[in-house]
Amino acid sequence: MTIALVTGCLTPVTLKEVQQDAVFRKMQSNAITEDVMSPHTAQVLRVYNLTTEFATDPEKTMRDLRERACAEPDRYLLFSMAELSYLVARGHENKSDVDALGYFISSARFAYAFLFDDNLGTPPNQYDPRFRLGCELYNHSLARALRLLEDISTAEESDGSVRIDTWDGPLRVRVEMYGFPDEHPSFADLLLSADYEVEGINNHYRSYGLGIPMIGLFERDPNNPNQPSRASYPATALLRFDRLACVNYDQPLDATLELYDPLHVDQVDIDGTRSPLESDVTTPLAYALSDPNLRTDAFLGFLRAERADNRTGLYMIDPYESDKIPVVLTHGLVSSPLTWADMLNDLRGDPVLRERYQFWLFQYPTGYPFIYSASVFRAALDDARKRYDPKGDSVAFNNMVLIGHSMGGLLSK
- What secondary structure does DSSP assign to 236-275, as a single string? EEEEEESS-SS--TTSPEEEEEEEE-TTT--EEEETTEEE
Q: How far apart are CA 208 and CA 199, in angstroms?
A: 21
Cβ atoms within 10 Å of 308's Cβ, excluding its own: 24
What are residue 344's phi and psi, to 5 degrees?
-60, -40
- pLDDT of 243 strictly over 70: no
**C-alpha dihedral, 110 to 112 to 113 to 117, nearest 10°:** 180
| Lowest-confidence region among 21-30, 69-78, 305-314, 404-413 | 21-30
pLDDT tens digits for 326-360? 999 999 999 999 999 999 999 999 999 999 999 99
pLDDT at 25 over 80: no
Segment holding 181, helix H or strand E? none
Q: What is the pLDDT of residue 204?
A: 98
- Asked whether the predicted pLDDT for residue 95 surpasses 70, the reply is yes
Q: What is the pLDDT of residue 295?
A: 87
Three-class DSSP category at 235: strand
More confident residue, 275 or 72: 275
Q: Are 103 and 135 in contact (CB under 8 A)?
A: no
CA distance 361 to 7: 82
Residue 144, classed as helix, strand or coil, is helix
Q: For 212-248, b where at least 16 C-beta lie within 10 A, e where not — what string?
A: bbbbbbbeeeeeeebbbeebbbbbbbbbbbeebbbbe
Phi, psi dihedrals of residue 277, rounded to the nearest 5°: -90, 140
- Tell me what pLDDT residue 9 has: 66
Q: Convert the pLDDT of each residue in 102-135 to its tens digit.
A: 999 999 999 999 999 888 888 999 999 999 999 9
Out of 239-248, 275-284, 375-384, which region has the weakest mean confidence (pLDDT)? 239-248
* CA 181 – CA 179 distance, rounded (Å): 7
Instruction: Tell me what the mean pLDDT of segment 232-256 comes to.
Output: 81
Lowest-confidence pick of 196-210, 235-249, 299-313, 361-375: 235-249
Residue 358's Cβ-side half-sphere holds a number of Cα atoms within 13 Å equal to 20
**Residue 216: what pLDDT?**
97
**In Å, how far from its chain's centre is CA 135?**
13
Using DSSP's 3-state secondary structure scheme, residue 188 falls into: strand
Say yes or no to pLDDT of 3 above 60: no
Half-sphere exposure of 27 (CA within 13 A, CB side): 7
pTM of this structure:
0.91
Q: Report the pLDDT averaged over residues 286-305.
A: 92
pLDDT exceeding 90 applies to what percent of the chain? 73
Instruction: Give the pLDDT score at 121.
Output: 82
Residue 245 has pLDDT above 60, yes or no: no
Quote the distance between the C-alpha of residue 112 and its chain's center.
16
Give residue 201's pLDDT.
97
DSSP structural state of residue 401: E
Instruction: Give the mean pLDDT of the chain.
Output: 91
Instruction: Output 168 or 177, whichever has higher pLDDT.
Output: 177
CA–CA separation, 279 vs 207, rounded Å?
Answer: 5
**Choice among 15-19, 54-58, 229-233 with the minimum mean pLDDT:** 15-19
- pLDDT band with cut points at 50, 70 and 90 for residue 249: low
Q: Give backbone dihedrals phi and psi of 211, rounded to 5 degrees, phi first.
A: 110, 165
Let me know: does 126 contact 115? Beta carbons within 8 Å.
no
- Looking at the predicted structure, is the pLDDT value of residue 4 above 60? no
Q: What is the pLDDT of residues 62-89, one digit of tens each?
A: 888 988 887 877 889 999 999 999 999 9
What is the C-alpha separation between 201 and 150, in angstroms, rounded?
29
pLDDT given for residue 41 in this prediction: 96
Residue 399 has pLDDT above 70, yes or no: yes
Please choose, from the candidates 169, 187, 220, 175, the residue with its C-alpha nearest in 3D space to the C-alpha of residue 66.
169
pLDDT in tens, 122-131: 899 999 999 9
